[in-house]
Amino acid sequence: MTTRTLRAALAASLIASTAVAATARADTMTMWVRASGTNAASTLVNLWNSTHSDKIELTTIPDNQMVTKLATGVQAGEVPDLVSFDLIYMPDFMKAGFLADLTADLKADPNFASVAKAYVDIATYEGKLYGAGFTPDVSILVWNKDLFKKAGLDPDKPPRSVPEIHEDAKKIHALGADTYGFYFSGSCPGCNIFTTSPMMVASGSKILPANGNDDALTGDGVKDVLEQFKEMWSEGLVPKSAQADNGSNFVALFKTGKIGIQGCGGFLISDLKRDVPGMNFGVTFLPGMKDGEVSSFVGGDVVAIPVGSKHVPLAKAFIAWELTDEAQLDGLAKNDILPSRPALADNKYFAADPRIVTTAKALGVGYVPWVYHFADMVNSDSSPWINMLQRAIFDGDVDGAIKEAREKMKAIAAE
Amino acid sequence: MAPALIFVGVFVLIPLGQLIAMSMTDRSLLGGGRFVGFGNYVRIWNDAGFWRALLFTVKYTIVLTPILMILGFGLALLTVDNTPLKRLTRTVAFLPVVIGLSSSSLLWFWLFDEQVGLINKLLTDLRVIAQPIVWFVSADLAFWAVVISITWKVVGFGMVLFIAGIQSINPEIMEAAVVDGARYWARVSRIILPLSRRIILLTTLISAIGSMLAFDQFYIMTSGGPRGQTFTAVYWIYQNSFVSFKLGYGAALSIVLTLIILAFSTLQIALTARSEAK
């Protein structure tokens, strides 16, 4: 073998060994995401995987199992490197010490400074940060413009108060027996905290107590909104099936084109454009009892690092990356998903659809409760929240329902 | 004997001991927990939700068990002979048994859906009903929807057990009865039923215990609604343990439910033994 050949072989083997070493250094992180956040999370994870040698393996967990699975996982020491879950559970997990302290890294990150305040607040416990906004969602009001037009309503003028929703719903239901003015999932506690509670908050009410000494369901907003819902129900403006809907038909009926107005999440925009491209629909803020009162429930997922993660530095690198312009725009905004940095709402992807810009702006008028035992108070199938809604709307006992729910919520908050 | 003892010790006694120990604490799924003695058990006594769920579970058991026994035994009588057609019928009747309970419950949840479900479509097309029924709006309708789904799923299991019992009867006894002129129903009531007593007891026990431990079907089909009226005892334990994070209290509820089922099963066996002795 000549010297030249030997040198070439040596160079080639050095390059090959470097490539092998690089591949050997590449890690795979595991990440859990709840089912309703999978689509959004996938956009970010796929973008990360396509641009990084270290990969992320995404595992979808059913929504109602995520909290249990994460809690038992931490206790058993079997946790993923990253977790994306409903932000409303942050207080419980932070208090339990299940999440890694990210304060130093996030405070040093210039992108974190422009994350929506609601996400910063919900991820803060005793002055420390334990997570970042990941795949935001926010509740909005949608209306079917085609039905509005048929009913003689201005298709470009959405209802600006709950009583106006009621009035518009009557006109829409007059179109036919199988056309309904309004929809809500009557047995879905989560759906209603997302879409009905903002109407109450917009009307001046506070919903949940932060502790046993705090009050719950304050103000006239709760009663006034429930009275309107009760009347819409008794007038047949809402399908009968809504009473038993546990959320499995949360948006399905609106997609049939037979529902005039409904509260839902920003995710519905891309859903409707994909599933019912011919439907003309509008998006606006959820109103209160009076014109001009608006609110929304700031929801979606946060991303955090569970205690016990085996790739903490890499997981932190992912969190830093997901807050960058690249991830927020090319990962989220490009796929009609809201960025967690409201300053990026004005972007080339959203410019084509003002409805998404409206949804992004709803982040600015929204609220997110910082409470413990949210599952007990709200999301549980036997929660005082859903019992109050059902007793008030379907049984007609508004005052009794509010009184009972207030007492139970305060008892839970005191635990 | 020793391996069996080790198995029972490791998989039954130790976990049971841990459960009893946990039931004496206020342990949370989020960590922590102090010793509270019998505090959880006192709380159970005052827990109206648990007693409501237990009563509902007992009602469900009392209604479902005879349905499964009668239908299962009936199917067994119809398919006990080993002809090709009857073997095929047995297979078809048994197929739902091998489907997972969660999958079956999800299937029936959508079959009963007011908008897109086939049940309402069938009933409407046959003019049995004028308007679609909203099955899960009423506790009674939701109850019967679950009963129908579980009957479809489980009846084949009882059928197979009963067939085994009937086929184990000495054929000479049946032949002698035929020769003596005993008609079919006389043979069923005077020979098959008495000689199948043990298998009937076993099947009843399995069915009753399974019904007392019902969870999946209600979790998926009714979510405990409407208004918490279809919570079963196990569903209530799940709610307290994994939704409210109260593991200690959930453990105490589990112990109480176990004791109730044990008492119920012991009573059933004792009553049957007494009637056999007579």
Sorted by where each begins, the domain ranges of chain A are 28-137+299-365, 138-298+370-413
Tell me if A240 and B137 make a contact (CB, 8 A cut-off): yes
Q: Write out chain A residues lying below 8 Å of B224, CB-based.
A: 381-382
Question: What is the rounded CA–CA span in Å between residue B244 and residue B237?
Answer: 10
**What backbone phi and psi angles, to 5 degrees, belong to B181?**
90, 15
CA distance B258 to B202: 18
Higher local confidence (pLDDT), B170 or A235: A235
CATH of A28-137+299-365, one of 3.90.79.10, 3.90.1150.10, 3.30.413.10, 3.40.190.10: 3.40.190.10
Q: Which residues pair with A206 in a beta bridge?
A: A218
Q: Using an 8 Å CB-CB cutoff, list chain A residues near B244.
A: 373, 375-376, 380
Q: How far is B99 from chain A (nearest CA, A)?
A: 21
- Which of B22, B26, B30 has the highest number of chain A CBs within 10 A, making it the mutation to test binding with A? B30
Residues in A closer than 8 angstroms to B135, CB to CB, are 244
Nearest-angstrom CA–CA distance, B106 and A336: 31
Please tell me the distance from the alpha carbon of residue B254 to that of residue B213, in angstroms, as a whole number.
10
pLDDT tens, position by position, B23-50: 999 999 888 889 999 999 999 999 999 9
User: What's the gap in Å between the CA of A75 and the closest CA on chain B?
Assistant: 7
C-beta atoms surrounding B87 within 10 Å: 12
Interface contact A354, partner B, CB < 8 A: no
Domain boundaries, chain B: 22-277
Contact criterion met (CB below 8 Å) for B253 and B19: no
Share of chain B above pLDDT 90, in %: 70
Cβ B134–A244 below 8 Å, yes or no? yes
Contact by Cβ (8 Å): A303, A319: yes
Report the gap between the CA of B267 and the closest CA in chain A (Å): 33
| Closest residue on chain B to A99 (Cα) | B30
| CA neighbor of A267 nearest in space, from A181, A146, A140 | A140
Average pLDDT over residues B145-170: 95
Q: What is the pLDDT of residue A22?
A: 46
CA-to-CA distance for A264 and B108, rounded, in angstroms? 27
Structure tokens at B137: 């709006």
- Window A:390-409, CB contacts with B under 8 Å: 390-391
Which among A173, A170, A219, A172 has a CA at the least distance from the CA of A197? Answer: A219
Give yes or no for residue B165 having a pLDDT over 60: yes
Q: How far is A173 from chain B (nearest CA, A)?
A: 18
**Composition of chain B by helix, strand, coil, percent to 5:** 75, 0, 25
Q: How many A/B residue pairs have CB atoms within 8 Å?
A: 76
H or E element: which one contains B170?
A: none
CATH topology of domain B22-277: MetI-like fold (1.10.3720)
Q: Beta A124-125 vs A55-61: how paired, if at all?
A: unpaired
Per residue in B84-121, pLDDT tens?
999 999 999 999 999 999 999 999 999 999 888 999 99
Q: Which of A238, A244, A233, A189 is nearest to B136 (CA)?
A: A244
Q: What is the pLDDT of residue A12?
A: 55
User: In angstroms, how far is CA B252 from the centroid of its own chain?
Assistant: 22
Distance, CA of A363 to CA of A370 (rounded, Å):
16
- Quick one: fold of A138-298+370-413? D-Maltodextrin-Binding Protein; domain 2 (3.40.190)
Of B113, B142, B239, the CB nearest to A380: B239
What is the CA angle B109-B111-B113, rounded to 5? 70
ipTM of this model?
0.76
CA atoms within 13 A of residue A199's CA, in its CB half-sphere: 29
| Mean confidence (pLDDT) of chain B | 92
Per-residue pLDDT of chain A (415 residues; tens, 9 = 90+): 566 666 655 655 555 555 444 445 678 999 999 988 898 899 999 999 999 999 999 999 988 788 889 988 988 889 999 999 999 999 999 999 999 999 999 999 999 998 988 899 999 999 999 999 999 989 999 999 999 999 999 999 999 999 999 999 999 999 998 999 999 999 999 999 999 999 999 999 999 998 888 899 999 999 999 999 999 999 999 999 899 898 888 999 999 999 999 999 988 888 898 899 999 999 999 999 999 999 999 999 999 999 999 999 999 999 999 999 999 999 999 988 889 988 888 889 988 888 998 998 898 888 889 999 898 899 888 899 999 999 999 999 999 999 999 999 999 998 8
The tokens for A296 are: 């929304």
Buried (b) or exposed (e) across A195-212, using 16+ Cβ within 10 A? bbbbbbbbbbbbbbbeee
Confidence at residue A8, expressed as pLDDT on a 0 to 100 scale: 58
Radius of gyration of chain A (CA): 24
The β-bridge relationship of strands A132-144 and A298-304 is antiparallel
How many Å apart are CA A209 and CA A214, to the nearest integer? 5
Residue A23 pLDDT: 47
For position A21, what pLDDT does the model report?
47
The whole-number pLDDT of residue A361 equals 85
Distance from CA of B6 to the nearest CA of A (A): 25
Residue A9: per-residue pLDDT: 58
Residue among A71, A244, A379 whose CB faces B30 most closely: A71
The answer to whether residues B177 and B26 touch, using CB atoms and an 8 Å cutoff, is no
Q: What is residue A345's DSSP assignment?
A: G
- pLDDT of the residue at A210: 85
**What local confidence, expressed as pLDDT, does residue A4 receive?**
65
**Is B227 an 8 Å CB contact of chain A?**
yes
Residue B228's pLDDT band (cuts 50, 70, 90): confident
Exposure b/e, B251-268, CB count within 10 A at least 16 = b: bbbbbbbeeebeebeeee
Best mean pLDDT range from A154-168, B178-192, B262-276: A154-168
Average pLDDT over residues B219-224: 92
What's the token pair of residue B61? Answer: 């058991």
Q: Report how far residue A220's alpha carbon sits from residue A198's, in angstroms, rounded to the nearest whole number.
A: 13
A249 and B CB contact within 8 Å: yes
Distance from CA of B17 to the nearest CA of A (A): 19
What is the b/e burial string over A395-412, where b = at least 16 CB atoms within 10 angstroms of the residue's CB? Answer: eebbeebbebbbebbbeb
> B35 forms bridges with which residues in the sheet?
B25
Contact A381 B244 (CB under 8 A): no
